[in-house]
Structure 1
Amino acid sequence: MSTQTATGTATGQAAAGERSSLLKLYLIRGILAVAWALAFASVQGDHDDVAAGAVTLLVVYPVIDAASSFIDHRATPRGSERRVIAFNGVLSTVAAIALGIAGAEGLEPALHVFGAWALVSGVAQVIVGVRRRGPELGKQWPTLISGALSFLVGITYNIQAAGNNPSLDVLSVYATGGGVWFILQALLLGWKSRQLRTRTA
């Protein structure tokens, strides 16, 4: 086996390993997001303030994201996206603490903090998606779309929080949408893996 062939094989195996890790991570992350949305809708309901159970869930959601970023960072062996993933993990940890404080203060502060976090984490998600645009990882379209929508929704939430009728009901929609995009990305990675296996069979 030539050095070039060995290098190509090693690169292919590394890409396959990263693809498999991301598939599992995205699938679990997506399922957790949808489950969170259902739980949050049931505890928050139509409250004009922030229900006690909702405050706990507000903290839990960015904690899930922080844990996912930690796992993603460990599974990413190379690439400048590792720094962005690490930043997003720290950001989500700070957001969890801030949401715990803001949720106790009231609906408007909680929506402001969640919106700010959604905005910045959306930008980070787009950056990671762009840097993973290679064919081995399925072009990352669901990740890019999800990140862009998170950025736009973050702006919207801050506008709503400053308005006359802010509501946390929108957070369940946000989490559901994010979960669906994560699941779609996992399915895309699974399809890409099967496609590559067929080519090499």
Structure 2
Amino acid sequence: MAHHHTTVASREKEQWLTRYYFARTAFSAVWVAAALTASRQSFSVAAALLIIYPAWDAAANFVDASRNGGLGNNRTQAINVAVSSVMTALVVVALSMSMNWVLGAFGLWAIFSGLLQLGTALRRWRTIGGQWAMILSGGQSAVAGAFFIAQARMLEPPSIANIAGYAGLGAFYFLVSAVWLSVSHMRRKTA
């Protein structure tokens, strides 16, 4: 009987993660599209998008951790909520300075949030499939963050397009994980 409850709980977590990863994919895809189109006409739109991105990450990690036992049981996500919240405020401040400062702030955030995502994926690896893409995503995020910091020091001012590629790759990894979990679920149902 206990094994049945564990299996049901594991499937519910997997179904939640599938929906969560699809939602993260959709948000990032819309964000990238807006960043590459609407933000070109308006600095205000670009600024709002730059503030929304880490704020969304904080909210998404909070909701995911809450659905999976709370922040106390998901330390990497709890820290990610705090880091993403602080970085949201830092982006607001950086926007008053220059896009170089914004890109530098995104670089710091990408490093920390990527490593925390990597930690979350490693923790989930034992119980839920599809985490290899989240591990790659977390590692790539940390590398991209270092690259952003290097770019932020260049004389040519960066734009939101620098960040859009990063967000697009993140969307790809979330999509891969969501599809992987969906296919795994369908295979188990037919077996």
Once the two structures are TM-superposed, the CA of residue 164 in structure 1 deviates from its matched residue by: 2.3
Q: Percent identity?
A: 26
Where does residue 131 of structure 2 map in the other structure? 140
User: 1:22-37 to 2 correspondence within 5 Å?
Assistant: 22-37=17-32
1:184 matched to 2:176: yes
1:17 matched to 2:3: no
TM-score (norm 2): 0.92
Where does residue 197 of structure 1 map in the other structure? 189
Distance 1:78 1:70 in 2: 8
Where does residue 155 of structure 1 map in the other structure? 146
Distance 1:160 1:166 in 2: 9
Distance 1:116 1:41 in 2: 22
Where does residue 81 of structure 2 map in the other structure? 89
1:61 matched to 2:56: no
Distance 2:49 2:132 in 1: 29
Q: Deviations over 1:44-83 (max 9, x none)?
A: 43x9xx9222111111011111111011111113898611
SS at the partner of 1:132? Answer: helix
Once the two structures are TM-superposed, the CA of residue 120 in structure 1 deviates from its matched residue by: 0.5
TM-score (norm 1): 0.88
Distance 1:66 1:41 in 2: 23
Where does residue 108 of structure 1 map in the other structure? 100
User: Which of the pair has more CA radius of gyration?
Assistant: 1
Q: Deviations over 1:112-132 (max 9, x none)?
A: 000100011000011111111
Amino acid at match of 2:135: L
Instruction: Give RMSD over aligned pairs.
Output: 1.9
Distance 1:102 1:39 in 2: 21
The runs of 4+ residues in structure 1 deviating greater than 2 Å are 77-81, 195-199
